[in-house]
Amino acid sequence: MSAAMLARGLCRFLGCTPPVRTRATPAAALSVSRSLATPTTAAAAAPGVLRSPYPDVHIPDVPFYEYAWMHLDRYPDRVAMECAVTGRRYTYSQLRTASRRFAAALQKAGLGPGHVLFALLPNCPEFLAIILGANEAGVSIATCNPAYTTGEVSRQLRDCRPSAAVTTPELAPSLSSAFQEARLEPPQLLVTVGVAYSSTQPTSGATPEGAADFGQLVGDASLDGALRPERTGPDHLFLLPYSSGTTGLPKGVMLSNRNLVANVQQTAYPRVQVLDVDASGVCEPGNVVPVVLPMYHLYALALIMLQKVCAGATMVCMPKFEPALFLDVLAKHKATLLYLVPPMVLFLAGNPSVKKSHLETVRRAISSAAPVGEKDIARFFERAPANLKFFQTYGMTETSPTTILPDRDVESYTTVGKPVPNTLIKVVSTDTSEVLGPNQPGEIVVKGPQVMLGYYNNPKATAETIRGDGWIHTGDIGYYDADSNFYIVDRLKELIKVKGFSVAPAELEEILRSHPSIEEAAVVGVRHDKFGEAPKAFVVPKKGAQGSLRPEDVLQFVDGKVVEYKRLAGGVEFVDAIPKNPSGKLLRRVLRQQAQ
């Protein structure tokens, strides 16, 4: 299928924007033909196209909530979700009841297929019950960063036009203002969840007028005949997280039930499974996974919560990252599996409060969102137990999110591994689109059943990202070696062009972090009269080094480690902190604006 044909096809089911006053999304916008939603690897791979080394896995033809509760009878009394601050917890049977009652409450309010629930929530044990309950009612879920400004929230509201919303009592007034700014009517149903941010802070204020408390709502909900059959199908829209993709403002990423079921099946394949599970995919008791990454982001929502609920793991959530609380969770709950982003790896590797005892029960640690350098990993292992396995993985919101995972027995810590089952990957030239061979960096392009349906109400951006016969262009630069192991170099739009040469900021950042007086660093490209563009470093000195570390010291340090065109000809600027988004990615655009 050509890009033009794909664009026309997407226009047919995305082009009808719902009226402002109703906000219900047309049912046609919530599903897509299976030919686009489930690309197959059955056909022989073309030259230069890498097929997963693992056999294809079966993708059950069911909505996600049915898939999630498949093994519930094996662990009904096991703790599913617990709040690290208050100790509030749900067993798996309690979580199932809460989600089913929430589904009944949504349907009683007249909500179902064609409607969107807007989730503006920090991490809390109820998050998973809300997601699975909405899915069972056939309601799609749009997630949003609770730290957003009113303007940022209103922009997302205008795009997804939700019929219902769930938030905290404290955030309810700003959410109401965002609805007004977006010129939307208030939601048909507003639900609030009390969230405690510290052990000394109560579980938030009173339920706002016109809102329903989550606990009371599910407690009062009746299941007698409340849930109508045929509420959602495999190809209907399940999740609507927002991502900037390869460029531009955040866009709604349409992920179907099939997308998410497929990705859990793919990542549960025994050679890449990071939990210790039996033949049916159920983990043993004692598998504990902290959830400190933001639940509204697909990394935590899908890669941690939705995957682990299917296997029966215990999750301990924190409303936000606090070093002392995080270390307490590791020690008190005896965490066995960690999901990290590079700043958290650096924290565990370099913060003096981190002891070996904090990591003694951890069997595996996974880092994603951006590459971690070999030197930083080596520092992490100085505090890790000898049997701990460290992996880097690769994916994006638009691929549900995982496309590449290391083998459980891999010994290299820098590779992100090989394509997961049912997945094809190729590396193409950013200049000619030619398919490249081993050890030739280019853009990573992916095809598989985990590839999104498209961007919500944005057929143009969809056609620019999904091209040909279902291939998604990731905007990430990487390569594979002779053994088909992949390595991520950098983002396509973040590469710095110096005298025609491409310079990867991540390479320079790793070198800068190895300086004994540098805590953190970020590199962006700035205009240069002679070179066209040149790297500039933003550096956070370590405590005690402020005032003594000079820009010329940093320049000299880097000059001795790179070829001439990679040197920091754009200069060095000392800053108090490096701007990042909640998933841990550097906000280079902010630094580029600052450098102008």
Smallest Cα–Cα separation from 501: which of 563, 439, 445?
563
* Confidence grade of residue 199 (pLDDT, cut at 50, 70, 90): low
H or E stretch at 518? strand 518-528
Q: Which residues, listed in sequence order, are joined to residue 236 by a DSSP beta bridge?
A: 31
Mean pLDDT over the full length of the chain: 89
The answer to the question of residue 84 being in a domain is no
**Shared domain check, 110 and 203:** yes
Does one domain contain both 262 and 224?
no
Q: Is residue 238 part of a domain?
A: no
The answer to the question of residue 419 being in a domain is yes
Please tell me whether residues 179 and 136 are part of one structural domain.
yes
Least confident of 80-84, 96-100, 367-371: 367-371
Residues 470 and 521 in one domain: no
Alpha-carbon separation of residue 512 from 125, 379, 536 (angstroms)? 39, 15, 12
Full-model pTM: 0.84
Q: How far apart are CA 88 and CA 81, in angstroms?
A: 8
Which conformational region is residue 16 in: left (phi greater than 0), alpha (psi within -120 to 50 degrees), or beta? Answer: beta
Q: CATH no. for residue 574?
A: 3.30.300.30
* Phi and psi at residue 253, to the nearest 5°: -95, 115
Q: Is 469 exposed, middle or buried (0-12, 13-18, 19+ CB in 10 A)?
A: middle
539 and 470 within one domain: no
Q: What percent of the chain has pLDDT over 90?
A: 72
Q: Give the span between the Cα atoms of 369 and 355, in whole angstroms.
A: 25
Judge whether residue 38 has pLDDT over 50. Answer: no
Neighbours of 501 (CB within 10 A): 13
The pLDDT tens digits for 332-364 are 999 999 999 888 999 999 999 999 999 999 999
Q: What is the pLDDT of residue 200?
A: 66
Domain boundary among 233, 258, 283: 233
> How many CA atoms lie less than 13 Å away from 454 in the CB half-sphere?
31
Do 523 and 487 share a structural domain? no
Write down the pLDDT at residue 422.
98
* φ, ψ dihedrals at 528, nearest 5°: -140, 130
What are the tokens at 285?
A: 């008791």
451: pLDDT strictly greater than 70: yes
101 and 203, same structural domain?
Answer: yes
Residue in the block written with tokens 């297929």: 113
Per-residue pLDDT band for 202 (boundaries 50, 70, 90) equals: low
Name the least confident of 10-14, 410-414, 429-433, 445-449: 10-14
Under 8 Å between Cβ of 445 and 462: no
Q: Dig out the tokens for 307 from the structure.
A: 């995957």
CA angle 226, 227, 229 (to 5 degrees): 135
Average pLDDT, integer, range 579-591: 85
Which of residues 467, 491, 515 is at a domain's end?
491
How many folded domains does the chain comprise? 3
Q: If we measure between CA atoms, which residue out of 489, 475, 451, 253 comes closest to residue 370? A: 489
- Is residue 227, in this structure, part of any structural domain at all? yes
Sheet with 518-528: list strands edge to edge: 518-528, 532-541, 572-574
pLDDT at 494: 81
Kindly state whether residues 478 and 518 are assigned to the same domain: no
pLDDT at 247: 64
373: nearest Cα among 356, 360, 386, 390: 390
Here the CATH number for the domain that contains residue 472 is: 3.40.50.12780
Domain coverage including residue 552: 495-595
Question: In the prediction, which pLDDT does 13 show?
Answer: 27
User: 188 or 530: whose pLDDT is higher?
Assistant: 188
Same domain, 466 and 589: no
Number of C-beta neighbours around residue 73 at 10 A = 9
Give dist(CA 216, CA 17) in Å, integer.
34
Sign of CA pseudo-dihedral 354, 358, 363, 367: negative
Average pLDDT over residues 379-398: 95
Q: Rounding to the nearest 10 degrees, give the CA dihedral for residues 241, 245, 250, 253.
A: -30
Tell me, yes or no, whether 135 and 271 share the same domain: no
What CATH number is given to the structural domain containing 205?
3.40.50.980
To 5 degrees, how large is the angle CA 440–CA 445–CA 451?
155
Q: Report yes or no on 77 lying in a domain.
A: no
**Per-residue pLDDT at 256 exceeds 60:** yes
Q: How far is CA 425 from CA 55, 247, 267, 393, in A?
A: 15, 21, 16, 15
* pLDDT value, residue 19: 30
In the chain, % of residues over pLDDT 70: 90
Q: In terms of Cα–Cα distance, which of 506, 536, 555 is closest to 392?
A: 506
Q: 209 with 217: CB under 8 angstroms?
A: no
Query: Rounded to whole angstroms, how far apart are CA atoms 47 and 162?
Result: 45
Residues 295 and 410 occupy one common structural domain = yes
pLDDT(163) > 60: yes
Q: For residue 433, give the 3-state DSSP assignment.
A: coil
The lowest-confidence range among 60-74, 297-311, 481-495 is 481-495
The answer to whether 281 touches 268, Cβ cutoff 8 Å, is yes
Estimate to the nearest angstrom the gap between the alpha carbon of 432 and the chain centroid: 30
Tell me, what DSSP letter sits at residue 423? -
pLDDT per residue as tens digits for the range 209-229: 999 999 999 999 888 766 776
Count of other CB atoms within 10 angstroms of residue 76: 14
Under 8 Å between Cβ of 168 and 211:
no
- State the angle between helix axes of 374-381 and 505-513 in degrees (0 to 180), rounded to the nearest 10: 40
Tell me how far apart the alpha carbons of residues 135 and 140 are, in angstroms, rounded to a whole number.
Answer: 6
Average pLDDT of the residues in 65-72: 97
Helices and strands: H and E segment counts in the chain: 18, 30
Q: Are 406 and 502 within one domain?
A: no
pLDDT at 471 over 70: yes
